[in-house]
Structure 1
C-alpha cells in the first residue's frame, strides 16, 4: 500500500512539477523532509524551499503560484513560540488553491478543530515516521475515494466561477451519496453565486441537518443572517463557538452582537472569554521564550536558569496543568545543581498538587533527599514512586540502581534484591546492577 502513496507523491512533484515550502524554526525537520523527498522517494527535481520567517515563505508562495506550480506548504503551529494562525489564514485567503499541512506537537482536540477551521488541509503530529509523512502527503495531494475527488473537482470549478458545472458535479455526488453535506455545500455556493439566495439557504440548512458538527454549513448560515436577523446570526455563531471554542475573533463578534442588542452582561461574558483565550495564547508564547532561555542556561548558570523557570511557573500560576511537569523537573534540576536540595524537594512537592500520582515526581524528590543524605526520606519517596508506577525501575538502569542503592542503605534488603532481579530482566548486560546483585547475595 505504501508504494501507492509513494507513487502519488512522486507524480505530484515530478509529473505535475509540484513545489513544497517549509516554514519552520526546526532545521531538524527540514533535514528529515529533504531526506524523505530526495533520498527515500528519489525525487529528481528541486522541489523544496525552506524558510524560518513568514515574509520569505509568503513571497515564495506568491512566486510559485504565479508561475503556475501546484504548491504544498508545511508550517509549524508555533513559530519561535508564536502562533502561525494569522499566516495560515492569510495564505488560505490569498492563495485558496494551495495545500497546507500544519506541524504540531501533541495538542488538544479543540486546537486540532481550530487548525482545520482556519485552513489546514492536514495536520502532522511530531515526531512522525517516514511512512506516516508520505501517507499524509499523499492524502493531502490526492484525497482518497471517488466522492472526495468529485468534491475537489467541484471546489475547483467553484473557484473558477463555473457555477452551472458546480451544480452538475453536486448532482453527481448526490446520486452516489444522497444528502451528502459536501455536495449540498457546493450546491448552496453555486445557487448563492447565481443570486438564488432562498434556494441556497435551503441547501445550506439541509447540509447542516445532515452533519451538525460540519462547520462550513454553519458558517454559511451565520453569514446569510448576519445583516438581516441578529437572533439567527447569534444562534449559528454560538454553534460554531461550541464546536471550535478557541476562535478568539468569533468570541469578540458574539460579544459585539450582544452589545448592539444592549445585552451587556452576556456581551461582557463573551468578551471575558475572548480575553482569556488571548491570554492563553500569549502564555504559550511567553512559555516558549522563557523555557528556551532557561534551557540554554541550565548547564552554564543554574542560578539564572532557576530564575527563568521560576518566572515561567509564576506567569502560569492558576493555569498550571500536568503539561507543566517538565518545567518543575527542570527547575528542580537547576536547584540541585546549586546544592539547594531542600528547595528542590519543596518544588517537586508543589508539582504534586498538579499531578498527585506522578511517579517521576516522587522519584525526583527521592534524588533531592539523596543530595541531603536524608536516606530514610529518600527511601520513602522511592517507595511511593514504585507504588505509583510499578515499572519505573525498568525505564532506565540508572533509576533501578539509584533505588536499589538507597534501599540497601536503609536496610530494605529484600526489596532491593527483588527490584535488582526484576531490573536485570530488562538490563541484563548492566555490570553495575550485576555488582549490586552480588552485594545483596553476600
Structure 2
C-alpha cells in the first residue's frame, strides 16, 4: 500500500534528502518529489499532487512548522504530513501537533520506524476503506446522472452521524486532548487525524448529496445539504482552534494540574459555552473533587441558559466546599431566575383563555 503512494520531501538539507529518499526507495516507493523551497513547491503542487509529505526542519524560505501549516492550508487539512527532525524539544512536538502533523520522526531513524509512522499517518488520515469506496462510487453515480442511487450511497455514509447523539469525530478529538495531557503524543496525533478524516468524509458526503439534489432540480434540498457540509467545516475549524488553545496552555503552563479546566475558562470567556462545558466534563476525570471546577461548570451552564444543570453543579460545588461564596451567590442567582421563569409560566396558565368583551352600546 505505502509503495503505491506519491511522496514529497520538503528540505534544503541535501544529506537529509538523500537519507529520506533512500528510506522511501527501500520501502518500494517510486514516486518521490523533492522541494528545497516553498516557492518552488507551491507552484509544482498545483499540477503534481502528493499523497504524503515528509517535512524537514528547514527549507530555503520557510521552517518546518511554517511548511506544515502551508501544506495543510494549500492542499488538504487531511494530508498526512510527517515531521522528520532532530528537534526533540517538547514545545516543538506540541507546535507540530498544533499544526496538524501526522507523525514526528527523530533523526537518525530506522527503516522500521519510518514505515510504522508512514502507515499510522496514512491510515489515520484516511476514512474506513469501505466507506471510502462507497463515497467514491456515489460521486461516480452523480457524474453519471444516477442521482437517486447517489443520494442513497451518501446517506449510508452520514447515517451514523444522523443517528448518533454525538459526532464520532468529536470522540476522537476528545481522546486526542486526553492523550496530549498525558504526553502520549503519538496517540494524540492519530486521534486528531481520525477526527479530521471523519469530518472531511461527512462534509464531502453532504456536498455530494447537495450536488445530487441539484442534478434532480431540487434546489431546496440542495441548499439544505450544502449548508450541512459548511456547518461541519465550521465545526472542524472550531475544533482546530480548541486544540491550539489547549496546546498553548500546555506550552505556557507545562505543570498545569488540570489543563482542561483552564481550557474551559478560556472557551467560556470567548463565548463558546458548549465547548467550555465539554472541556469541564473532561476536567472532571482528572480532578473529580474540585469544588471550583463544578462552580465553573455551573457558570458555563448559566451562560448557556441551562439553569437546571447550572443549579445541580452549584449544589455539587457547595457540597464539596460549603465555604465557596461565589458558588453560593451563583446558586441564589439561579434560584431567582428559575423562580421568575416559573412565575411567568404560572401567570400564563392562570390567565383566562376567553376574556369577556364588553360592548359599549352608548346607553
Q: What range is the shorter-chain TM-score in? A: 0.3 to 0.5
- The TM-score, its normalising length taken from structure 2, stands at 0.41
Name which structure has the greater RCO, CA cutoff 8 Å, separation 6+: 2
Structure of higher CA gyration radius: 1
